[in-house]
Chains A and B, each alone.
Chain A
Amino acid sequence: MNTVSIIVLIVLAVLTIVQVMRISEISSSIQGGKDNQVSEKDNDTQGKLLLLVGMGFVISVLVMYWAWGYHSLPAPSSEHGSEIDGLWNLSMLIINVVFFIVQPILFYFGYKYRGKKGTKAVYYEHNNKLELFWTVVPALFLAVLIIWGLNVWSGLMMPENEEEPIVIELYAQQFNWTARYSGGDNQLGYATVHEIAGANIVGVDTKDAYSSDDIITKELHLPVGKPIKFEFRSQDVIHSAFFPHFRAQMNCVPGSKTYFQFTPTKTTAEIRQDKDVKNHVAEVNEIRLAKGEDVWEFNYVLLCNKICGAAHYNMQMEIIVETEDEFNAWIKEQKTVAETL
C-alpha cells in the first residue's frame, strides 16, 4: 500500500512538473524567446553567478585548510619521513600557488567577458611567445620537483647502511598481520606455504638452521634509532603494509618477497607527548566519550591498504617503538621457533 502511494505521488509530481514546463515554455514563446536561446540577461546572470560561486569555491578551499588541515598526519616518526615531508611541502606550495592564481582568473574572465549585445569578441588565434612561456615555466618547476623527487626516492628505496639493519618479516594473511624477528643471527629461516600447519602459521621450515632463533609475534616492537629492514610476504592475496606515521608503504605479494627499510625516530612514549598528537587524541576522545566508547590512547599502527576481502577495513597491528633496552628486554621474553615448534 505504502509503495503504491509513493508511486502515485511520484507520477503526480512528474505530471505537475510537465505542466509547469509547458506553461513556462508557452509564455516564453509568446515573449519571443522561441528557440530557448540565451538572452543578454542570461549571460549577465550566469556570468555573475560564475564569479560568485567560483570565488566561493576558492574561498571554501581556504576554509577547508583552516578547518581540516590539522587533521593531517603528525610530523613523521622516521628518518626518511622528514625528507618526504620536505618535498611534500614544496610540491603543495607550488600547486596551491597555481590553484589560487588560475582558478580566480578563470572565474573572473568568465564574469568579465560575459556576452553583451553589440560587442564583438577579439579575433585572437595564437601567440607563440605566450605559449612558449607557459610551456617552459611549468617545465622548469617540474624539473626541480622531478630531480628532488628522484633523489628522495632512491635514498629511501636503496638506503646506504652504516650499521646492519635489523631484519623483520611481516607476514600478511586475510585479515591479520604476523611479525617474525630474525633473532641473534639476524637471518630469517626459510619459509614456504607448504610448511603451514597448526601453530606454524607463517610456514617456517624448522629444518633450516637459520630458523631456530626466529621469533614469531603478533605485536610489532621496534627499537628507536635503529634501521629496520622489513621483508614482506603474503599467504593468500595482495595486501599492503601501510605505516602512515613512518611515511612507509609496501605491497605484500603472494609468491614473492618485497622490502622496505626505515629507521624509527620517536618512541611511542615520545610521540604521545607531541603537541599535535595530544590535540588529536583529545579531540578523538571527546567524540568517543560522547558515544560511550573506550578512551583511546595513541599507538602507532600498521594498516592494510590494498583491498583484500570482507574484513580489509579491520586488518591492523599495533606498533610499539621503544628504547633499545626496552626492546631487548621484550625480545628476551619471547619464545623462539625452536622452543615453540
Chain B
Amino acid sequence: MEHHHKENFFTKYIFTMDHKMIGKQFLITGMIMGIVGVMMSMLFRLELAYPEQSFPILEFFLGKWAPDGVMDPNMYLALVTIHGTIMVFFVLTAGLSGTFSNLLIPLQIGARDMASGFLNALSYWFFFLSSVVMIASLFVESGPASGGWTVYPPLSALPQAMPGSGTGMTLWLISMTFFIVGSLLGSLNYIVTVINMRTKGMSMTRLPLTIWAFFVTAVLGVLSFPVLLSAALLLMMDRLIGTSFYLSDIFIGGEVLSYSGGSPVLYQHLFWFLGHPEVYIILLPALGISSEVIATNSRKPIFGYRAMVGSILAIAFLSFIVWGHHMFVTGMNPFLGSVFTFTTLLIAIPSAVKAFNYITTLWKGNIQYTPAMLFSIGLVSTFVTGGLTGVILGDSALDINVHDTYFVVAHFHIVMGLSAIFGMFAGVYHWFPKMYGRMMNKSMGYAHFWLTFITAYGVFFPMHFLGMAGLPRRYYSNTAFPMFDNLADINVLITYFAIIGGIAQLIFIFNFFYSIWRGPKASQNPWRANSLEWTTPVEHLHGNWPGDVPIVYRWAYDYSKPGYDEDFVPQNVPLAEGEESGH
C-alpha cells in the first residue's frame, strides 16, 4: 500500500487530492448552485402566473429590479438565463458528472485514485472559481447576463441591446471559460483512469454501466467543450476589442456600428456543436446511474448489457451530427435541414432500446424499493415521456410551428432536466452510505420522491398544451396577446406545482445534512450490490482498499444467479467450478 501523509483539516477537506472527497466537493457545490437555480425558477414562475403584479417577496430578493414588488422585464430574462446556465452546467454537468465520476470511477474499476490527483483537484477548483464568478455576476450594477442561456449574439454582444449584456455578460463568459477548463481537466482524467487503471480482470465488457456512461461522457466533453470555449472567446473579442466574428450591419441606439462581415449564425453552429452533445453529457451519467440502481434493486442482471453499451456509443456518436436541429428556422440551407432531421430521428432508436431494456430488467425481478430505485423508475418514465416529443421537434417540418414555444420547454425539461436530476437523486440516495458512511432516512426519501415526481410532471406536462396553443417561451408576460388570455389558468396551476416542488426539495436538503452527522451507521454493503466500491471499508481511507486491490472474476450483474444461495455475487468472487462467466 502506498504511503500517505498525515492529513490536517486543509489537506483533508479543502485542498484534498482524494477522489472521494473531490466528488463530495462537487456535490455540495452543485447542490448550493442548485438551490440558487431552483429559487430563481420559483421567482419567475410567480411572475408568469401573476404577470406584472406586485409581490413583496420579489422586492426582497431582487431589490431595485423589482420596484414596488413588480419584476422588471430585464430581471425576468436574467432569471431565466441564469437559471438555465446554472441548471445545465453547474448542477447537471459538474454536480452530476463531477460528483459521481470522481466518486465511482476509481472505486468501481478497482483503482486507488484517479490517474492524476492534482489535475482532479485543479478541476474542482476551476469549477469552484467559475461558480463564484457566476454568483458574483448576479450582483453587478447593470444586472446579470440576460440573453437566454444560449447567449446568442448580437443580443449578448451589445450592451446597447439590453443592460444584461454589459458587465454581467462579461462575467458570464469569464465564468464559463473557467468552467470549461475545469471540465476538460476532469474529463481527461476520467478517460485516462478508465483506460489505464482498471484492476486485474476488469475488462471493458465487465465494467459496470455507470463507468461506461462516465467514460463516454468524458469523451464527449473533451471533444465538444473546446468548441464552446472558442465560441466564447470569439464572443469576448467581439465585445471587448471590436472584432466582427458574429456581427454585421447593425443599427442600434441611433447609430450604425462599425462591425461588418460577421455572422450571428456562426455562433449558433459553434454553440450547438457543444450544446447538443451537452444534452448527453448531462443525460448519460444519469442513465448509467439508473442502470446500476435498477439492476441492483431488481436483484436481476441489467437486461441486454451489450445493447446498453452499444446504445451509449451510438447515442454519443450521433450526438455530434445533430446540432443543426436547434437551428431549423435560422434560414439554413434546406438540404442541411433534411440531413439534421434524418440524423436526429435516428437517435430515437438507441434511446428506445435503452428504455425497453430498463423495463425488461424490472420484469420478473424482486424489486427493492429504496428511494434510489424510485427515482430510477421515475427517470425511465420521464425519459420515455420527454423522448417521445423529441420525435416531433426533431422533424424540421413540424419544428417550424413549435420552435421556441413552451412545447420545447416541456420537452427538454422532461427528457433532460427531470431525467438527469432524478438520476442525480438516485445516485445520492444510493451512494450516500459510500460517501458518508451513514444511511439517509428512507421515509423522508419516499416523501421527497413522491412530491418531486408528482410536482415535476405537474409543472412540465401542461406546458405541452401551452406550446400547442402557440405560446412562445421567454415572454415576460403573456398579456400582450389576447389570444393567450385563456391560458392564464394553466400558468397559475404550473406555478403552484413549481412552488410546492421547490419547497419539497427542502426535505432532501434536510435529510442529506442531517444524515451526514446523525444518520444511522451504514454497513459495508447495505444494498447487497456486486460492484467493487462496496468491498472498500465504510471509513474512508486514501487509497481505498487497506490491503491489495481486489481482482475481478465476473461482470457486475450476477444478481440472482442460479447456483448461488445469496441473490448477489460480487465481482471479486472467483468463478465456482464449472461456472461460466459469459463476460
Contacts and interface: CB of A to CB of B under 8 A. Distances in A.
A251 B369 CA distance: 49
A50 B357 CA distance: 19
Given A36-B440, A309-B161, A309-B162, A316 B480 contact: yes
A35 B162 contact: no
B345 A142 contact: yes
Given A73-B469, A196-B256, A254-B154, A121 B398 contact: no
Given A46-B374, A120-B560, 16 more contacts: A18-B518, A87-B398, A110-B367, A126-B307, A149-B341, A192-B249, A193-B256, A236-B251, A247-B400, A251-B330, A254-B248, A284-B482, A307-B147, A310-B74, A313-B474, A313-B478
Contact of B522 (A35, A135, A251): A35
10 contacts: A38-B368, A87-B397, A109-B362, A124-B301, A138-B349, A138-B352, A153-B396, A240-B403, A287-B485, A305-B404
A312 B519 CA distance: 50
Contacts of A138: 348-349, 352
Contacts of A107: 381
A313 B453 CA distance: 31
B162 A310 contact: yes
Interface string A135-168: 1001100100110011011101110000000000
Contact of B330 (A121, A154, A258, A303): A258
B518 to A, nearest CB: 7
A126 B303 contact: yes
B148 interface: yes
Interface stretch (A91-99, A213-221, A319-327): A91-99
A61 interface: yes
Contacts of B481: 301, 303, 316
A102 B354 CA distance: 13
Contact of A126 (B305, B329, B355, B478): B305
Given A154-B338, A236-B251, A121 B369 contact: no
Interface stretch (A64-72, A204-212, A333-341): A64-72
A49 interface: yes
B94 interface: no
B331 A313 contact: no
Interface stretch (B116-124, B167-175, B213-221, B262-270): B262-270
Interface of B: 72-74, 77, 147-148, 152, 154-155, 158, 161-162, 247-252, 256, 262-265, 298-301, 303-307, 329-331, 334, 337-338, 341-342, 345-346, 348-349, 352-353, 355-357, 359-360, 362-370, 374, 377, 380-381, 384-385, 388-389, 391-392, 395-398, 400-401, 403-405, 439-443, 446, 450, 453-454, 457, 461-462, 465-466, 468-470, 472, 474-478, 480-483, 485-488, 490, 510, 514, 518-520, 522-523, 526, 557, 559-562, 567, 582
Nearest to B485: A284
Given A122-B560, A238-B155, A134 B356 contact: yes
A275 interface: no
A193 B493 CA distance: 45
Contacts of A110: 362, 367, 377
Nearest to A252: B331
A92 B392 contact: yes
A29 B403 contact: no
Given A53-B454, A150-B342, A313-B480, A125 B305 contact: yes
A221 B510 CA distance: 60
B285 to A, nearest CB: 21
Contacts of A94: 391
Interface string A218-261: 00000000000000100111101010110111110111111100
Contacts of A240: 329, 403-404
Contacts of B514: 18, 21
Contacts of B298: 113, 121
Contact of B249 (A57, A72, A193): A193
Nearest to B445: A36
Contacts of B441: 21, 25, 36
Nearest to A279: B486
Contacts of A256: 248, 263, 265, 331
A236 B439 contact: no
A54 B144 CA distance: 40
User: Taking each of A130, A310, A314, which has the highest tally of chain B beta carbons within 10 Å of its own beta carbon?
Assistant: A310
A22 B472 contact: no
A126 B311 CA distance: 15
B410 to A, nearest CB: 11
B567 to A, nearest CB: 6
Contacts of A330: none
A305 B439 CA distance: 48
Contacts of B247: 254-255
Given A153-B396, A255-B247, A238 B264 contact: yes
Which 10 pairs from chain A and chain B are nearest by CB?
A255-B248, A258-B331, A157-B334, A46-B369, A244-B470, A313-B475, A296-B482, A314-B480, A95-B388, A152-B397
A157 B336 CA distance: 12
Interface in A1-44: 14, 17-18, 21-22, 24-25, 29, 34-38, 42-43
Given A145-B395, A149-B341, A152-B397, A35 B520 contact: yes
